[in-house]
């Protein structure tokens, strides 16, 4: 009688394992999507109203970039932590209830490391990575960690309504910082041309120093034997703003 009961338990466990484990492992192997809040077109014309809280964004990624309500600096998301690099070039921790008008995140899981050799400009870095990517038709999350000979980064100051277009703010008010022999991480994406209406096509990186005290949106740089960690994103998701500013904007 006792043996029968044990057998029954064993059978139950086997059935459970066979039915649950494959689903679990499939879920684990499923690639993470890239996820963006709003569109670059909306940001370009000055829709700086927050569309998602960081708390909500955290559910979609632990790695990425963007900006904050009112275009209040550059966002870096790294290892699940959010940083706000204000126009003084300093990286600040951010509260979960802060909102973002535009951001791009994913759960970063390194698929491969591209080891590039020699000294190169930012443009050459892009070309070298491009040559090693399997196709230009998929989005990639890219992380470069190390010491960089030279990085030129920028940030922008918080705006007040009525908001001006991004190009005006950048040309008149951006602060530019030159960092030499700086240790840290470049967090970014390389997106295919067909996403150009909704996001930055090509490369877009934000930088944060290894002590997490400074950074910004990457404008230019020099690289020595850089290593690019890459993840292919085979799904792209968007969250469109639920606010009047977005609805009234001339996005045509």
Q: Which of 60, 86, 154, 217 binds Zn ion (CB under 5 A)?
A: 217
> Of 8-16, 38-46, 163-171, 215-223, which segment contacts Zn ion by CB under 5 A?
215-223
- The helix (run of H) or strand (run of E) holding residue 123 is helix 122-132
CB of 100 to Zn ion, least distance (A): 12
* Closest residue by beta carbon to Zn ion: 217
CB of 20 to Zn ion, least distance (A): 42
CB of 74 to Zn ion, least distance (A): 6
**Closer residue to Zn ion (CB): 27 or 171:** 171
**Closer residue to Zn ion (CB): 31 or 192:** 192
**Closer residue to Zn ion (CB): 218 or 233:** 218
Kindly state the DSSP code that residue 174 receives in the 8-state scheme.
Answer: -
**Site size with Zn ion, rule: CB under 5 A:** 1
| Residue 154 binding Zn ion, by CB under 5 A | no
Q: Which residue, among 153, 166, 156, 155, has the nearest Cα to 48 in the 3D structure?
A: 166
d(CA 130, CA 61): 24
Locate 24 and state its tokens.
């679990």
Q: Report CA-CA distances (Å) from 19 to 6, 15, 22, 83.
A: 20, 6, 7, 41
d(CA 52, CA 38): 9
Residue ranges in 8-37 that form contacts with Zn ion under rule CB under 5 A = none
First to last CA, the chain: 75
Whether the CB-CB separation of 200 and 232 falls below 8 Å is answered with no
d(CA 41, CA 213): 30
CB of 64 to Zn ion, least distance (A): 11
CB of 22 to Zn ion, least distance (A): 40
**Closer residue to Zn ion (CB): 99 or 217:** 217
Which residues here bind Zn ion, judged by CB under 5 A? 217
């Amino acid at each position: 009688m006792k043996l029968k009961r044990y057998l029954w338990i064993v059978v139950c466990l086997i059935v459970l394992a066979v039915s649950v484990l494959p689903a679990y492992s499939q879920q684990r192997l499923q690639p993470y999507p890239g996820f963006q809040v709003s569109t670059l077109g909306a940001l370009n014309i000055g829709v700086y109203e927050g569309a998602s809280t960081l708390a909500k964004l955290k559910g979609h990624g632990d790695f990425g970039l963007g900006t904050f309500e009112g275009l209040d600096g550059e966002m870096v998301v790294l290892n699940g932590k959010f940083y706000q690099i204000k126009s003084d070039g300093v990286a600040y921790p951010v509260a979960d209830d802060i909102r973002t008008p535009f951001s791009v995140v994913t759960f970063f899981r390194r698929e491969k490391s591209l080891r590039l050799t020699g000294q190169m400009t930012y443009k050459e870095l892009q070309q070298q990575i491009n040559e090693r990517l399997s196709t230009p038709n998929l989005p990639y999350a890219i992380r470069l960690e190390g010491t960089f000979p030279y990085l030129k980064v920028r940030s922008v100051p918080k705006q007040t309504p009525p908001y001006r277009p991004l190009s005006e703010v950048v040309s008149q008010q951006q602060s530019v910082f030159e960092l030499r022999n700086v240790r840290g991480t470049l967090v970014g994406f390389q997106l295919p041309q067909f996403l150009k209406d909704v996001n930055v096509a090509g490369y877009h990186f934000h930088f944060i120093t290894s002590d997490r005290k400074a950074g910004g949106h990457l404008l230019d740089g020099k690289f020595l034997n850089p290593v690019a960690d890459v993840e292919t994103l085979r799904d792209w998701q968007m969250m469109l703003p639920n606010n009047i500013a977005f609805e009234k904007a001339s996005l045509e």
